[in-house]
């Protein structure tokens, strides 16, 4: 502690009981016992071998000054604007892998802290120092196979009339529908059902994919596999282009183009 006029001292005998103000009051030295016993006369009291007259009157001494601890430098850890900090999780989140679909959050990178997910509804954070918005990966639409495009073309002709030798687009026979549908997908097929069965790559019935050719009745009838156990084909007069069950007729084989 610091005592005015005396400097810094560690004098336990001078420390009194803390008051409500938080400062220690120093009692009258005349009432402080010394090593020679308690003083009898306040005017001639001895305190550790010295007369009272040689000691300043401490009754009215100002309060002891407290020595404060050295100031601790403020933390140098960067802080975030409240609008950002309040919305971030307590720990960094792993960045989504490339190509992963985006949900209801987007990613931002904060210098020195890591990558965080923020709600999609939060305004852009561009312009905030140290915060970089991570662009969402571009998810390309799934590319349709040639067979899927052929099935889509054939499905657009459901209900079209049947005619022998019909090549479309207003009427078809069975092989004419298959050939026209594949031409719409950019592939040229043989014109007849027997020629279509002879081309392409053989495929098992249990391995069929949309667009595969399914041949019936010894190769005399062609159809397109539509998926889910269904085919699209130009059936016969009065029925035209229709959708039927895969096993409606006797299967001869299947081909993939």
* Catalytic pick among 52, 106, 157, 233: 233
Angstrom distance (rounded) from CA 130 to CA 109? 8
Query: Active site includes 50?
Result: no
Query: Active site includes 233?
Result: yes
* Catalytic pick among 39, 221, 235, 246: 221
Contacts of range 164-172, beta carbons closer than 8 Å, 24 or more positions apart: 166/234, 171/240, 172/234, 172/240, 172/241
* Catalytic pick among 30, 84, 125, 174: 174
With both helix axes pointing from N to C terminus, report the angle between 146-155 and 174-184 in degrees, rounded to the nearest 10: 120
Query: Active site includes 221?
Result: yes
Radius of gyration of the chain (CA): 48
The encoded tokens of residue 238 equal 């009065």
Residues with a known catalytic role: 174, 221, 233
């Amino acid at each position: 502690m610091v005592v005015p006029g005396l400097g810094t001292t560690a004098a336990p005998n001078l420390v009194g009981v803390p008051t409500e103000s938080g400062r220690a009051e120093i009692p009258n030295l005349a009432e402080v016992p010394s090593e020679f016993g308690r003083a009898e006369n306040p005017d001639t009291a001895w305190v550790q071998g010295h007369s009272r007259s040689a000691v300043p009157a401490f009754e009215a001494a100002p309060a002891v000054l407290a020595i404060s601890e050295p100031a601790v430098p403020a933390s140098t850890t960067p802080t975030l604007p409240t609008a950002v900090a309040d919305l971030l999780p307590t720990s960094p989140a792993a960045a989504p892998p490339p190509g992963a679909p985006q949900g209801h959050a987007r990613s931002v990178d904060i210098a020195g802290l890591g990558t965080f997910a923020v709600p999609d509804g939060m305004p852009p954070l561009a312009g905030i120092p140290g915060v970089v918005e991570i662009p969402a990966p571009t998810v390309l639409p799934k590319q349709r196979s040639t067979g899927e495009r052929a099935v889509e073309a054939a499905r657009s002709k459901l209900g079209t009339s049947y005619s022998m030798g019909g090549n479309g687009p207003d009427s078809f026979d069975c092989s004419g529908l298959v050939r026209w549908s594949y031409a719409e997908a950019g592939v040229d097929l043989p014109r007849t059902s027997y020629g279509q069965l002879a081309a392409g790559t053989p495929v098992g019935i249990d391995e069929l994919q949309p667009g595969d050719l399914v041949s019936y009745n010894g190769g005399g009838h062609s159809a397109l596999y539509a998926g889910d156990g269904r085919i699209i084909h130009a059936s016969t007069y009065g029925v035209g282009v229709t959708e039927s069950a895969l096993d409606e007729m006797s299967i001869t084989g299947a081909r993939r183009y």
